[in-house]
Each structure stands twice: as structure tokens, then as C-alpha cells.
Amino acid sequence: MTAHENQLKSHGLRVTDARLRVLEAFVLKSVALSQPDIMLLLPDTFDRVTVYRTLERFVQHGILHEIADFSGAIRYALCNNGCNRHNHRHDHLHLHCRICNATRCTDILLQQEVLPVGFLVEKTSLYMEGICSDCQSKQVQ
Amino acid sequence: MTAHENQLKSHGLRVTDARLRVLEAFVLKSVALSQPDIMLLLPDTFDRVTVYRTLERFVQHGILHEIADFSGAIRYALCNNGCNRHNHRHDHLHLHCRICNATRCTDILLQQEVLPVGFLVEKTSLYMEGICSDCQSKQVQ
DNA sequence: GTTTATGCAAATTCTTTGCAATACT
DNA sequence: AGTATTGCAAAGAATTTGCATAAAC
């Protein structure tokens, strides 16, 4: 049994080809992906609807989390630590580079001082757009 | 000359009926609105396209800012302080209540410690979903 | 054998584009 | 008068729904 098969089972999901390939895509690319991104990575492989439902299931079961951005399309990224169906919290910063168009998770966590009083927080999003260090050095050349 | 007419002119925009009505909607509702939200508030008044272009212009000229959320549709909110074409920064927390469905700006600012090293930040989004204090007290009853 | 996932067709929602007519300053 | 805005028609993305077939456990 492969590591990806294991990951699906341990999160309470059936092992299917579509799920293995989508999970693989996220692991290989290590950037956030939207449904249209995945269609480009896996052309003529699965139906659009299958990919949408795979992403939906992955979010429900703590394999992926959604990223709120300004693009309109919903981007997803791998949950780094022990997320599951019931514990699924994402307080880290996401960075999107407008040159290479990559969105990545970071280890930078949201500071506690920012939490609002009286509001019951269920979902958090910390997101920045700009230019990543790689693309900055390429531009200077 | 009304206050809204003034606001448009001082931001370098022509005064038109569509812009006055859309601006009015944001001031009256005091919550974030998407293009579809505005169509519901101003039915049979303006064309969809006009509303989209009005929102686009308002963002360009520092009257509105976009909010990155999980909704699919792009939501907009009034800029509180002196935004304009060239100075247009939004580092404050936005709160979305999933009961009353309202998204509001807060005065809580993003802490500096959160800024990433080496990444040139151009646009920031801090967003939380949950239950607002009003809806929490209604649920308890 | 039962439950769950997939594919196909179709529809819905959100957003953008081009162009002629109209309104603003 | 000259420039910017609007409406209409149409197209283009992203996403969702229903239902029959197929695959997983």
C-alpha cells in the first residue's frame, strides 16, 4: 500500500484513481491549485465534476484547505499537519506571487492579538499578494 | 452638491446616476457587497455590466477595496480613510458571519510580526468567518 | 451486496468584451 | 466638442445538480 493510499484511508476516504492522481498533483507541485489548474495537469483523465467532488471531499476530510484570494477561482492547498474531519484549523500566512502566479503556504502564524472580541471564529484566512524573492531577483537582472 | 457627489469628484470620478446609487448602497448597508448583492438592492435599475464597471472604477480610485473570501463572488467594502488612486492599503481584519451573512470591516490591524521576509507585499487580506456577537446571543435564547 | 464514486448532459452563477448610443464636464 | 459612461448582446469562466453506470469495500 502506497503512502498516498494510506493517506486517503487514514482520512476515512475510499481509494480511487481520481483521488490518488489529484493528491499526487498537490504533492508534486507543492503550490496551491484550483480545479482548472488540475484539469491542465491531468488532461483527458477525469471529468470536471469528478475533480470538483474530489476537492470537496478532500476539504471535508482534512487533506486540503481552501485559500481565500482575489482571483474568483477557489484555490486549495495541502494541510500540513494533522488535520482531519473534526480538527481543521488554518492560521498560517499564504503568499501569492503575481509574476510566477504561485500561491504557497508559509510557517508564519497569525498573531493572537488580532483575534476579535465577541466574534466566534471558525475559519481564518491570512493572505498576501506581491512578488516572491525569486521573481524579484530575476527582475533586477 | 451632495456629499456623495463630492466624494466621487474628489476621487477624480465623473458624477453619474449609477455611481451615486451604488455608493449610496454601500453607505446605507455598511456591509461588504458583491455585484450580485447590488443587483438585488437596485433591481431593474442598471445593467449588470454597468455595476461591474462601477465597482472596478471605485476600486481604482480608492473608494472601495476588494475582500478575499471563500464565497466565489468578489465582495467589496468602503475604504474608511483617505484612500486614493495611489495610496490604497488595507491591512485591517474583515469578519464574515455565516448566520446573518454580513461581512464587515474592523479597526483591528494586522500585526507587523506577520510580514514575510524577502516577499514584496502589494496587497493584504485578513479575513475570518464565524458567528458575530449579535447572532450568538440570538442563538442562545 | 451495499454503499460510494464517476461520467455525462445540462444548467446556473459570476464575470468580461465589443460596439453603438448616450450622458458628463 | 470631446471624453467617459452606459446598455445591449454575446461570450467566457467557474461551479453545481440530477441521474444512470461503474467501482470500492
Q: CB distance from B123 to chain A under 8 Å?
A: yes
For the segment B79-95, what is each residue's pLDDT rounded down to a tens digit? 976 788 888 888 899 99
Q: Strand A120-131 vs strand A92-97: parallel, antiparallel, or unpaired?
A: parallel
C-beta atoms surrounding A102 within 10 Å: 16
Residue where the block lists cell 504533492: A27
Residues of chain A with pLDDT under 70: 81, 140-141
Footprint of strand D on the protein (CB under 7 A): A 9, 14-17, 34-36, 48-49, 52-53, 56, 72-74; B 13-14, 16-19, 46-50, 53-54, 57, 72
Sheet holding A64-67: strands in order across?
Answer: A33-34, A75-78, A64-67
Contacts of A96 (CB under 8 A, 6+ apart): A69, A102, A103, A104, A127, A128, A129, A130
- Which of A68, A113, A124 lies nearest to residue B111, judging by beta carbons? A113
- pLDDT value at B140 more than 80: no
> What global pTM score does this model have?
0.91
Mean pLDDT in residue range B44-57: 97
Within 8 A by CB and 6+ apart from B77, the residues are B26, B31, B32, B33, B64, B65, B67, B94, B103, B104, B105
Question: For residue B126, is pLDDT > 70?
Answer: yes
Contact between chains at B116 and A95 (C-beta distance less than 8 A): yes
Q: List A128's β-bridge partners, or say none.
A: A95, B124
For residue B135, pLDDT over 90 is answered with yes
Cell of A83: 488535520
Q: Which residue has the higher pLDDT, B65 or A114?
A: B65
d(CA B36, CA B58) in angstroms, rounded, equals: 16
Give the residue-averaged pLDDT of B97-124: 91
What confidence score (pLDDT) does residue B3 get?
95
Using a 10 angstrom Cβ sphere, with 0-12 exposed, 13-18 middle and 19 or more buried, the burial of residue A136 is middle
Q: Are B88 and B36 in contact (CB under 8 A)?
A: no
Q: Which nucleotides of C are covered by protein (CB under 7 A)?
A: 4-10, 13-18, 23-25
